[in-house]
Each structure stands twice: as structure tokens, then as C-alpha cells.
Amino acid sequence: MNAMILLLKKPFKNSLSYAQNYFVKRFSQYNHEERLFTNLHRKERRSIKDALDEQTRFEITKILKKDPIDIIKTIEKSRLRGKSSGMPTFLKMLDVRDEMAKDSNIENKRKTSVVVINAAENEPGTFKDRMLLSYEPLKIIEGALIASSAVDSTLCYIYTRKDYYAEMINLQKSIVQCYGSKLLGRNILGTNTKLDILVHPGAGTYITSEESALLESLEGRFPIAMQLPQPVSAKGLFGLPTLMLNVETAANLSDIMKREISNKEVENNYETKLFCISGDVNNPGITEGKLSCSLKELIETHTGGVKDGWDSLVGVYAGGPASGILNKEQCERTTMDYQTLEALGCNLKNGSLIVLNNQDHVVDSLLNFFRFYSKETCHICPVCRPGIEDVEDVLTDLQHGTANFGEIQNILSRFQQPMQEGIVCGFADNFRRPFLTYVNNFQHDLVRRTR
Ligand code: SF4
């Protein structure tokens, strides 16, 4: 009997070590030193007590004792950019500090600011926030501490997607452990720093990716996008100067500062990015790569390649559906950085690659995304209201091979005009990009499906 159990156990044991070797092999292509989220690859849920060793405590104390301006200078040196917006992070911090300096001249006005970390990804094909909340909560909390120190804030909100329930609980547990370990609350690790973190479940709508809608939701109202009279750095949450960061950007801060205090190079930190890769690939998942890496290398190295081989590739949404779609020839030569993708009519956005290896999947996926947008848009601006439904109709006709050039031309003439008048938020631009890139990059397919 014992021998039988041993025999049964052996293959299971081997399959575990195979999986471990597979991960090591898969991720060893990138230098370990260059990766920031090492726990994401190990996929271990460690308690804060285990993660918060003497060395980490020492480093955080040293960072918190730094002058806020020195923290901002280090972030400037790292050239860290918002992982969603692409805006330099140090500029956002300086804007908040400038506003606070103005406020402090006004009598009886409280000199305070607030940090909001957005971890409520809603775009189809995006799951990096979920992974960070699950496996790197300490990095998020450290990032919140550093961002708050840089803008003299004592309050930070982490806004998460409401259906990431288990991840939210995991983050909340980590926050409670941090309070217990003196990493949050008053006099953090014996310094003068004070910070409270509140986790706020999202409203469950795509529009909360837009900052005005997110603030509405955080203030307890129904989230709708609106034109803000002033930037959020001047008048954001509850009318206070607000620093808004994507959760990946915030989680980058701790490594940048730790490298700086250990006199390591910080210049290259901005060059890494989390990429979620899904669709027609052998092993969908998340990986961390250099911003300048080639799209082909990213897919071939980290996902076991395209299903049925690279030659079967048809197109890739390079940064999520709203970023636009590239054809195979563009995928062969493009690198994953802001400038190159912009030059191709796409953008990097949240770094979610959706790989397609079947010609029919292109129009099917576009139609799926436009149905999603049509449900999620707030329908208050003229571009979104009829615009999305019109594209949906054209895509349905394209799917059936009955579209006509007149309809497509009509939409193109509307989409190609600068979208300034009557537009409340930047989402209108998101909606037109996938359609425009399809028309530009898949002309053969378009002609084939049009009468
Ligand atoms: S542009 Fe679209 S999503 Fe943005 S506020 Fe107007 S209708 Fe809503």
C-alpha cells in the first residue's frame, strides 16, 4: 500500500517541480535585477510580518526621513511615467505641492492633500491590478507611503474593482498587519510620518477609469464623467489637492527609492512594465518586460508563442482594446514603447496584449468591445451617444459581409475630425481608436467584407 502511495505521489511531485522549472525558465530571459515585482512570478501570498524584515524596515525608515523634494527628485531621475496615462509622475507630485503652497498663503485654509491610487482596472483583457493586489500588497502600501510623503499627505485611498473581492480582502488584511507592525498610523517606524489608508470598492463601471468619475464615486455619488473646473492636483477629492496614481505606478515607487538609498542606478526603473497577454496564445498570463522590448519577443518568450505558430498571427491589440489593433506586419517590427506605438496609431495604455490568430476574430472582437463600450458609456456627449451605436451597426454588417462603403465613410469623416466640441472626457478618443486602426491596418479584410 505504501509503495502504491509513493508511486502515486511521484508524478505529482515531478509535475510541481516541472511547473517551477517552467516559471524559472520562462522568466529568466529578463535579468532578475531588472524585475521589480519578483513575488508576482513566485505567486506566494506572504504575510506582511514575513515580508517586513529588518532590512525593509531600515530602508523604509530611511526613505521616510528624506526631504519630500529629494524624493521627488529621485522619481524624476528614474523617469517613471504613469503606467496608464504616460505622464511623468514627478510632475504630478510637483503640481500638488505647488497647489498646497498656494493654499498655505490663504488664512484658515488647511494645508493638506490626499493620494488616490486607482486599482480598478475595467478594460477587457487587463488583469495586472488584480495580480498586484494579490501578490504585491506590501509594494502598494510602500508606494502609498512614499507618494504621501512626497506630497505631505496623511490620507490615501486605494480604489479597487468591486468584484475583486478576494484581492480586496487580501489588501485589507495586509493593511491591518501594517498598522500592527507600525508601518501605518501615527509615527510610522519611529518617524514623524502619519498615514491612514482606506480601501474603497469601485462602482463596477468602466467610466470610473476616468478621473472625474472616479472622484464622484469616491465621494459617494453615482459615477459620471464631467469636465472639472480645475485639475485634480488643485481641486480633487473633497476639494483638496489630489495626487492620482495608477496602482502599478505606485507599486514602482518603493523599488526606485530603495535603489536610490542603496546607491544603485535608478535611471532604468522606468523601463519596466507589466504586460498582460491573453487571446490566442499557448500560455496566457502576466509578465514584466522592458518598455523597449519587441512585441514579437514578448509573445514568443513569455507565452509559449501564438497558438498554431507565429505565422498564424493576424493582429494584436497592443495595450488593451482601446489602444487599437496592429496587423501582423506591424507586430513583427514594433517595440513596446509609447513613441513607437503612437507612430502606428496605437498607444501603450495599460499594456494588455490581446493576440488574435484568426481573421474572423478581428471583427468579432471589435464588435464585442463596442458592445461593451456601448453598455458602459454614459451617453451624454454627441460623439459617444450615436457614435458607438453606429460603429456597432457597421461592425455587425461587416461580420455578415453586408457593410457598405458609404456607412464606413460616414463614420470615418466624423471620427477623423478633432474631437473637441461637446466632449466631456477622453474616452471618446478611446472609442474611435480601435475602429480607425482596423480601417487603416486591415484594409484587405475591410474590402473583403464590404459590398
Ligand atoms: S465622452 Fe463618452 S464616456 Fe466621456 S463623458 Fe462623454 S459620453 Fe461619457
Q: Which three cell numbers stand for residue 172?
A: 485589507
Predicted model pTM: 0.88
168 lines ligand 1 (CB under 6 A): no
**Calpha distance 179→187 (Å, rounded):** 11
Q: Would strands 352-356 and 315-317 be described as parallel, antiparallel, or unpaired?
A: antiparallel
428 lines ligand 1 (CB under 6 A): yes
Cα(295) to ligand 1 centroid in Å equals 31
pLDDT value of residue 82:
84
Q: Which three cell numbers stand for residue 266?
A: 535608478
225 lines ligand 1 (CB under 6 A): yes
Ligand 1 atom nearest 385 alpha carbon: 7
424 lines ligand 1 (CB under 6 A): yes
**Calpha distance 234→240 (Å, rounded):** 7
* Integer angstrom CA distances of residue 20 from 14, 33, 41, 188, 304: 10, 19, 10, 37, 15
pLDDT value of residue 419:
59
pLDDT value of residue 132:
93
* Angle, alpha carbons 116-231-324 (nearest 5°): 75
From the list 412, 423, 419, 415, the residue with the least C-alpha distance to 450 is 412
Cα(379) to ligand 1 centroid in Å equals 6
Nearest CA to ligand 1 atom 8: 378
Nearest CA to ligand 1 atom 2: 384
114 lines ligand 1 (CB under 6 A): no
Count other Cβ atoms within 10 Å, centred on residue 304: 15
For the chain, give me the number of helices (H) and strands (E)? 19, 9
Q: Which three cell numbers stand for residue 101?
A: 503652497
pLDDT value of residue 172:
94
* Angle, alpha carbons 292-293-295 (nearest 5°): 120
Full pLDDT tens readout for the chain, 451 residues: 343 333 333 333 333 333 433 443 344 345 555 667 777 766 667 777 777 888 888 999 999 999 999 999 999 988 888 877 778 999 999 999 998 887 665 554 556 899 999 999 988 999 999 999 999 999 999 999 999 999 999 999 999 999 999 999 999 999 999 999 999 999 999 999 999 999 999 998 888 988 999 999 999 999 988 888 889 999 999 999 999 999 999 999 998 998 887 777 666 555 688 999 999 999 998 888 888 889 999 999 888 899 999 999 999 999 889 899 999 999 999 999 888 898 998 888 888 999 999 888 899 999 999 999 888 888 777 777 777 888 899 999 999 988 888 888 888 887 776 655 667 777 777 778 899 999 999 999 998 888 7
* Dihedral angle of Cα 69, 73, 79, 80, to the nearest 10 degrees: -30
Count other Cβ atoms within 10 Å, centred on residue 171: 23
pLDDT value of residue 109:
54
pLDDT value of residue 366:
94
Please count the CA atoms within 13 angstroms of the CA of 281 that sit on its side-chain side.
23
Ordered domains of the chain (ranges, CATH): 35-267 (3.40.50.11540), 293-448 (1.20.1440.230)
User: To test the ligand 1 pocket, which listed residue (424, 430, 431, 433) has its Cβ within 8 A of the most ligand atoms?
Assistant: 424
Question: What is the DSSP track for 161-189?
Answer: -TT-HHHHHHHHHHHHHHHHTTSSBSSGG
From the list 209, 207, 215, the residue with the least C-alpha distance to 231 is 215
380 lines ligand 1 (CB under 6 A): yes
Ligand 1 atom nearest 226 alpha carbon: 5
Nearest CA to ligand 1 atom 6: 381
Yes or no: say if 275 and 290 are a contact pair by the CB < 8 Å rule.
no
132 lines ligand 1 (CB under 6 A): no
User: To test the ligand 1 pocket, which listed residue (379, 391, 433) has its Cβ within 8 A of the most ligand atoms?
Assistant: 379
User: To test the ligand 1 pocket, which listed residue (226, 384, 389) has its Cβ within 8 A of the most ligand atoms?
Assistant: 384
**Calpha distance 216→207 (Å, rounded):** 11
